[in-house]
């Protein structure tokens, strides 16, 4: 009974093919970056209406620069894909009465929230690992080798970035009626905090985890405080979501 909700989430993901299309979407997103950067001169030459004899010279990016572009795509578009897949997690279940039914069974609210959050967190981890593996493969094949330890640290930070943003989304989605609004607010908060970090010295904030996943490929960075504050935000978000989860929809 303790893991029933968690198992049901995986069954639903298999039925609606979320287990398939999210990893594939992130793998395609990650693979396209090294492929695009490698063939970019040919693409520009074939569609650029250049005069005869003109040559396009584009500096070949380093493997680290390729992987940085992959990280940027995943933490922006990839995160959007994951959040949109989770958009109706609570709102749909309020409308059809599933949350109210779970409450009638006296299932702890924390178990409901953590089970659903855990499903999407693990799905994100698996998808990012597959995407980063694909990106690493094409980077080595098309460009050159890179430092694998830095790459593993970068991947870990990227995963932490996703987990933090998912936790914030689940907090907002637990309290609000609309999953769409929860996605917009999560991304909006992420955008605002990213701007503040650029203006003010807030390198200890968990919103630095995303940029650090790129910076660590080029230089040494201080990871301790963003990881600590990230763990705090995850724990606080899940705790408050468990306490403030709305079980009924006003339109129900």
Q: What is the pLDDT of residues 33-68, one digit of tens each?
A: 999 988 877 766 666 565 555 556 678 889 999 999
Query: 8-39, pLDDT tens digit by residue?
Result: 889 999 999 999 999 999 999 999 999 998 88
Is residue 24 included in any domain, yes or no?
A: yes
Question: Could you give the dihedral angle defined by the CA atoms of residues 42, 44, 45 and 47, in that order, rounded to the nearest 10 degrees?
Answer: 120
198 to 69, 94, 133, 193, 194: CA distances (angstroms): 19, 39, 30, 9, 6
Neighbouring residues of 182: CB distance < 8 A, sequence distance ≥ 6: 87, 91, 169, 172, 173, 176
30 contacts 70 by C-beta, under 8 angstroms: yes
Tokens representing 151? 């790459």
Is residue 97 included in any domain, yes or no?
A: yes
Query: 155-172, pLDDT tens digit by residue?
Result: 999 999 999 999 999 999
**pLDDT-based confidence at 252, cuts 50/70/90?**
very low
Question: Could you give the dihedral angle defined by the CA atoms of residues 29, 125, 113 and 231, in that order, rounded to the nearest 10 degrees?
Answer: -110
The percentage of the chain sitting over the pLDDT mark of 70, rounded to a whole number, equals: 91
Is residue 223 included in any domain, yes or no?
A: yes
167 contacts 238 by C-beta, under 8 angstroms: yes
Of residues 2 and 92, more confidently modeled? 92
* Residue span of the structural domain in which 85 resides: 20-244
Is residue 204 included in any domain, yes or no?
A: yes
Coil, strand or helix at 155 = helix
Is residue 61 included in any domain, yes or no?
A: yes
User: Number of structural domains, the chain?
Assistant: 1
Put simply, whether the predicted model's pTM sits higher than 0.85 gets the answer yes
Question: Could you give the dihedral angle defined by the CA atoms of residues 71, 74, 79 and 85, in that order, rounded to the nearest 10 degrees?
Answer: -160
Is residue 81 included in any domain, yes or no?
A: yes
Is residue 187 included in any domain, yes or no?
A: yes
Measure CA 240 to chain center: 21
**pLDDT-based confidence at 208, cuts 50/70/90?**
very high
**pLDDT-based confidence at 248, cuts 50/70/90?**
low
Is residue 195 included in any domain, yes or no?
A: yes
């Amino acid at each position: 009974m303790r893991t029933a909700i968690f198992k049901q989430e995986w069954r639903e993901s298999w039925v609606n093919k979320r287990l398939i299309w999210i990893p594939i979407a992130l793998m395609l997103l990650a693979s396209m970056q090294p492929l695009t950067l490698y063939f970019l001169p040919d693409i520009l030459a074939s569609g650029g209406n250049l005069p005869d004899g003109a040559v396009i010279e584009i500096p070949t990016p380093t493997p680290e620069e390729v992987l940085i572009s992959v990280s940027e795509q995943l933490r922006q578009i990839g995160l959007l894909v994951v959040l949109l897949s989770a958009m109706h997690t609570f709102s749909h279940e309020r409308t059809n009465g599933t949350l109210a039914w779970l409450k009638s069974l006296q299932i702890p609210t924390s178990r409901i929230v953590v089970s659903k959050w855990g499903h999407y967190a693990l799905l994100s981890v698996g998808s990012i690992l597959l995407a980063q593996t694909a990106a690493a493969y094409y980077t080595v094949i098309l460009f050159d080798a890179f430092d694998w330890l830095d790459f593993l640290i970068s991947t870990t930070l990227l995963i932490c970035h996703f987990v933090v943003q998912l936790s914030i989304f689940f907090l907002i989605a637990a309290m609000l009626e609309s999953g769409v609004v929860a996605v917009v607010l999560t991304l909006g908060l992420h955008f605002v905090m990213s701007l503040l970090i650029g203006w003010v010295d807030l390198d200890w904030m968990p919103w630095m985890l995303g940029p650090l996943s790129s910076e660590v490929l080029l230089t040494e960075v201080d990871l301790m405080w963003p990881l600590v504050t990230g763990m705090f935000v995850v724990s606080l978000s899940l705790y408050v979501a468990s306490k403030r989860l709305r079980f009924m929809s006003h339109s129900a």
